[in-house]
């Protein structure tokens, strides 16, 4: 069982506002005290808060319903009702939130302690004291509280790292991470050994360091859902530098690089603007003459280095190149635009240049897109046994 959960869909509801009071003042020797009904309390908010101590969404796996508290009604003597209890959802830094129905981007939590009010609680109703006037001295009515807001949201974790390792399966990504950091990813001689992203802190000179992320292998067609597909492509979006890794025994290094770059651009065109380096792995089997010959056949639009995680060849040079790119000021300003969670048929028609489509067909395709996106929810629930977390939630 894997403890890494980067996708959760939950149902949230903010609190209802308390009703205003219709009370009239009653006191000895005050026969007509007039209205003194207080206002109702505000309903509780649903708030998202970044927490650096979390690195996965597993704590929300069984907390599928988040309900904030309702506000209390107003009281006598213009007493305001108690506000409903706010519900705070702690999420790891790098969590992106979308509306599960429309796919619209809602917010992004990137810093520790950052808070965002996801759903505001309903306002409390006004008491009858607010409605008094010279012509209506005994108002026998008050405002009810506003209803809370209900919404189903999708939380997606996009890991934050300085360097992201991009490559086909079995090119040495996990081996490199295990050599340059204290991370211990699973390493084997079969494809898709890495099923979840792994993070490692790479030590550099003068007690400096940077974070490297091992992303599961990409294959041709990953942007269309093949292999591990879109499930882990999103983790590449948050990396400052993309390190493409291609083995020295590859039949065509340029072609493999083109395929990898095309998959990233197809998934998100903004990824083409990210700085990238090319590492030729498993180079311990090459001599100097062969390296010079291969250098002329490498892509010309990217810096490259020959490395070997086993012998340590080129590892120091690779660290220097990565550190230089990470600290380049221009690389810190690249921010990707958050796209909708799923693409509707209408937006595809605009991209294709077609303006019209039968309404029935459009609705059918749009619903199919949503079903395709969410069809693996139940499968993931059945595959993982998280019984130890049952009962953990706010609505229990």
The count of other CB atoms within 10 Å of the CB of residue 222 is: 24
Q: What was the pLDDT predicted at 226? A: 59
Q: What was the pLDDT predicted at 296? A: 81
Q: What was the pLDDT predicted at 113? A: 92
Mean of the pLDDT values across residues 219-245? Answer: 71
Mean of the pLDDT values across residues 234-258? Answer: 85
**pLDDT range class, residue 51, cuts 50, 70, 90:** very high
Mean of the pLDDT values across residues 94-110? Answer: 90
- Asked if pLDDT for residue 380 goes beyond 50, the answer is no
Mean of the pLDDT values across residues 98-111? Answer: 90
Mean of the pLDDT values across residues 351-373? Answer: 42
Residue-wise pLDDT tens digits, 165-191: 888 888 888 889 889 988 887 776 666
Residue listed under structure tokens 């309900």: 67
Instruction: Give the separation between CA 350 and CA 366, rounded to whole angstroms.
Output: 14
Instruction: Give the separation between CA 313 and CA 319, rounded to whole angstroms.
Output: 12
**pLDDT range class, residue 139, cuts 50, 70, 90:** very high
Q: What 3-state DSSP class applies to 132?
A: coil
Mean of the pLDDT values across residues 109-132? Answer: 93
Mean of the pLDDT values across residues 276-298? Answer: 86
Helix 359-374 to helix 345-352 angle (10° resolution) is: 110
- The DSSP letter of residue 269 is G
Cβ–Cβ under 8 Å, residues 151 and 103 = no
- Asked if pLDDT for residue 32 goes beyond 70, the answer is yes
* Residues 6+ positions from 376 with CB-CB distance below 8 Å: none
Strand order in the sheet with 95-99: 65-67, 7-13, 150-157, 95-99, 105-109
Q: What is the mean pLDDT of the chain?
A: 79
More confidently predicted of 220 and 391: 220
**pLDDT range class, residue 12, cuts 50, 70, 90:** very high
Cβ–Cβ under 8 Å, residues 360 and 368 = no
- Asked if pLDDT for residue 358 goes beyond 70, the answer is no
pTM above 0.85, yes or no: no
Mean of the pLDDT values across residues 41-59? Answer: 91
Mean of the pLDDT values across residues 366-380? Answer: 46
Query: Quick one: the chain helix, strand, coil %, rounded to 5?
Result: 30, 20, 50
DSSP tally for the chain: helices H, then strands E: 8, 14
Q: What was the pLDDT predicted at 336? A: 56
H helix or E strand, kind and range, residue 354: none
Please tell me the least confidently modeled range out of 80-84, 159-163, 191-195, 358-362. 358-362
| pLDDT > 70 fraction of the chain, expressed in percent and rounded | 76
H helix or E strand, kind and range, residue 41: none
Q: What was the pLDDT predicted at 230? A: 60
More confidently predicted of 160 and 209: 209
Q: What 3-state DSSP class applies to 345?
A: helix
Domains along the chain with CATH numbers: 1-157+358-396 (2.70.210.12), 161-333 (3.40.50.300)
Strands (E), the chain: 7-13, 46-50, 65-67, 87-91, 95-99, 105-109, 115-119, 150-157, 161-166, 198-203, 209-214, 239-247, 276-281, 303-306
């Amino acid at each position: 069982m894997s403890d890494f959960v980067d996708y959760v869909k939950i149902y949230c509801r903010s609190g209802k506002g308390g009703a205003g009071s219709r009370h009239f003042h009653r006191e000895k020797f005050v026969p007509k005290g007039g209205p003194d009904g207080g206002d109702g309390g505000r309903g509780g908010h649903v708030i998202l808060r970044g927490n650096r101590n979390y690195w996965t969404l597993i704590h929300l796996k069984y907390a599928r319903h988040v309900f904030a508290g309702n506000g209390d009604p107003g009281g006598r003597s213009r007493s305001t009702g108690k506000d409903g209890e706010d519900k705070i959802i702690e999420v790891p830094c790098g969590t992106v939130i979308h509306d599960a129905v429309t796919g619209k981007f809602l917010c992004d939590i990137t810093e520790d302690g950052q808070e965002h009010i996801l759903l505001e609680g309903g306002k409390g109703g006004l008491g009858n004291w607010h409605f008094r006037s010279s012509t209506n001295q005994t108002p026998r009515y008050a405002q009810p509280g506003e209803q809370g807001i209900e919404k189903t949201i999708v939380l997606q974790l996009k890991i934050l790292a300085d360097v992201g390792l991009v490559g086909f399966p079995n090119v040495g990504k996990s081996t490199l991470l295990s050599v340059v950091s204290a991370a211990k990813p699973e390493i084997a001689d079969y494809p898709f050994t890495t099923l979840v992203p792994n993070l490692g802190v790479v030590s550099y000179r003068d007690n400096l360091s940077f974070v490297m992320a091992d992303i599961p292998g990409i294959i041709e067609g990953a942007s269309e859902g093949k292999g591990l597909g879109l499930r882990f492509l999103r983790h590449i979006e948050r990396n400052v530098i993309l390190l493409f890794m291609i083995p020295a025994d590859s039949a065509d290094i340029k072609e493999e690089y083109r395929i990898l770059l095309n998959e990233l651009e197809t998934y998100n065109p903004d990824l083409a603007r990210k700085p990238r380096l090319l590492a030729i792995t498993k180079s311990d089997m090459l001599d100097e003459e062969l390296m010079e010959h291969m250098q002329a056949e490498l892509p010309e639009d990217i810096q490259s280095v020959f490395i070997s995680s086993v012998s340590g060849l080129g590892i120091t040079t690779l660290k220097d190149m990565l550190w230089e790119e990470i600290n380049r000021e221009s690389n810190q300003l690249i921010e990707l635009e958050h796209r909708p969670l799923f693409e509707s048929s209408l937006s595809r028609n605009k991209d294709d240049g077609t303006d019209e489509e039968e309404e029935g067909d459009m609705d059918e395709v749009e619903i199919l897109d949503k079903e395709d996106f969410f069809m693996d929810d139940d499968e993931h629930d059945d595959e993982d046994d998280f019984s130890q977390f049952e009962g953990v939630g706010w609505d229990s």
